[in-house]
Structure 1
Amino acid sequence: MTSQKKSKTNAKTGKTKKSFEKEIAILKAKLPGVLKKVKKGTAVMTQEVEKAFEKMKPGIKLVAKESERQAKIGALKIQILGTTNKINRLLSELGKKLYTLINKKRVEVTDSTVKELTEKIKELEQENKKIGKKLEKI
């Protein structure tokens, strides 16, 4: 009676151990050539990347310079905005003081625009008083 061993096959791939070993041996034989090609390809790719970077350098410098310029412009515009806000607050204070003096008859107004603005403010103050009375009723 001769005993024959059946080779086991992998359930997922349907391949035997010997066929796997054969494929591994083939891959091992091909590996040095593949690695050589990969190294060569990597070197070529590195050179290409360096060339591309060299071509991009002037553009990168230009973008950096323009970014710096825009940042300076932005900072100066913020300073202008801050100063303008201070001016507007002072004008508002001046206007309030002038309006108070006009109402107390301590300043004589001859300018028609100032007179019109004073009248409009008085009308709005009356409107606020009416609204305030409505608010009290609620």
Structure 2
Amino acid sequence: MSARGEKWEFLDGPHPQIFEYRRSGRWTFTEFETFTRELRPRMASYGARGPFCCLVDLRELSPHGERITEGMRSNMAFAVSQGLLRSAQIVSRSLMRMQFRRLSTRVDEPSFRSFAERDEALAWLLKALGEGAAR
């Protein structure tokens, strides 16, 4: 089931083991906290069913300061603790790519990678799940 906040949207993923969501705009810390309160139970639900992947569209997201960036890192670590195999971020801005790369190097497991195109990101996730194409 799709759910939407003002600057985020949780989507019905292309596969039962792929949690897909979008983030956009520039966020206040209060907005980020609300997003995190909605995000984590959804991740835990995916993790309860077994290993999962994330497909995250960040093409419309603006870079953020250290406080929100640290919260993003914390959410990445939480996803790993719930059984995340891989996380593919779709980004279009070079500054966002750099910020994401810096974040992902601070989280040990699993594989986090950024992509310019959704199809390429999805193929990488499906490979981790042992499938060649989306259902």
Identify the TM-score tier after normalising by the shorter chain: under 0.3
Q: Which has the higher contact order (CA 8 A, sep 6+)?
A: 2
Normalising by structure 1, we get a TM-score of 0.15
Normalising by structure 2, we get a TM-score of 0.15
